[in-house]
Amino acid sequence: MISSVGLGIPPYEISQTEIKSIVKEIFSDRESRLVERLLPIFDHAEIDKRQFVVDSEWFRESHSFQEKNDLYHQLAIKHSLNAIDACLTDGDFLKQPVPYEAIDMFMFVSSTGISTPSLDTYIMNERPFREDAARMPLWGLGCAGGAIGLSRAFDWIKAHPEKNVLVICCELCSLTFQKDDLQKSNLVGTALFGDGVGAALLMGDNSAYLPYSKHTKPRIIQTSSATKKNSHDVMGWKVTNRGLEVIFSKRIPALVRSFWQQHTDQFLQTVNINHQSIHSYIAHPGGRKVLEAMEDVLQAAREKFKYSYDVLWDHGNMSSATVLYVLKKWMQTGITENQFSILSALGPGFSSELLLLEWDKT
């Protein structure tokens, strides 16, 4: 059962209008015609504002890969701790705080910076977590990471039903910004991506802390993964001397209508549930066109995706963390027992992750 979700929201909020102006200022002196042609992307993204770990002046300056990664290391720990603290103490979801000592497994999901040892080891030092807690860092999953992290946590907790897992998704996309990259994918990414951190607490069916939960919660019933072969050019990172350079293809909405539709149809057939029985879609909002393609494929009302659009509007695409923001909003609505939801995310690979959730009062 997913018992609680907490967020670590960065401090610098910048409107889409201001970001558009910054991009125009940075790029127009070198390739003004291209930039002017692409600027409408900012207007059509259905994003009002985003949050970042750095202020607007940071984007106007050049930064080395090492400088960006050092900042990632420092700020990822800080904002992950904020999300964890919020998750383990959230009065909306928990009757009383869950102690740090209750965590049996850490899953740290991120693709926007590099650290060895992984950042969960640094996070463990800052709070009274147990030294014998298991760890499963997941890197390189991009936007699909939040959903995949929940799936792998579910797999582990099935084998250890008395245990509790903390899934942390931390993405500081702003620190990957390439000031000298004039490719279309960089400008599209700049129009979409923000920074965000989310933490989700999963409890096994025999966890001693289940009584701490209150209201209906989503129970993971089944998961499914699919990876399209020879699709590395759809999304991901190209590692350069300047840092992580975004790969972002315009083919993604078309792949929703082919690859993702096939995966979704097969999954629902496997779990023996039809589209009409799904109360809501907890979909990672990869962008407006991606969400619209999902609605079209499923012939579903926009209302079933409403919090995906809300999160996109208020925060942008925060890669793996975004689906936890959407999940939290659905959890706060208090969905009645026995309703079904599909949690979904797409990522590099090109990959699709689906989870069937049933709302439960246990």
Cα(183)–Cα(10) distance, integer angstroms: 27
Cβ atoms 165, 157 nearer than 8 A: yes
Judge residue 52's burial from the number of C-beta atoms within 10 Å of its C-beta, 0-12 exposed, 13-18 middle, 19 or more buried.
buried
Q: Which of 143, 169, 170, 173 is catalytic?
A: 143
Cβ atoms 211, 164 nearer than 8 A: no
199 forms bridges with which residues in the sheet? 6, 168
Radius of gyration of the chain (CA): 20
Question: Which one-letter amino acid corresponds to residue 85?
Answer: D
- Residues contacting 246, CB < 8 A, separation 6+: 176, 178, 185, 186, 189, 235, 237, 238
Say whether 143 is catalytic: yes
Residue 307 sits at the vertex; the CA angle it makes with 306 and 312, to the nearest 5 degrees, is 105
Distances (CA, A) of 265 to 154, 249, 262, 297: 22, 24, 5, 10
What DSSP assignment string belongs to 119-137? HHHHHHHHTT--TT-EE--
Catalytic residues: 143
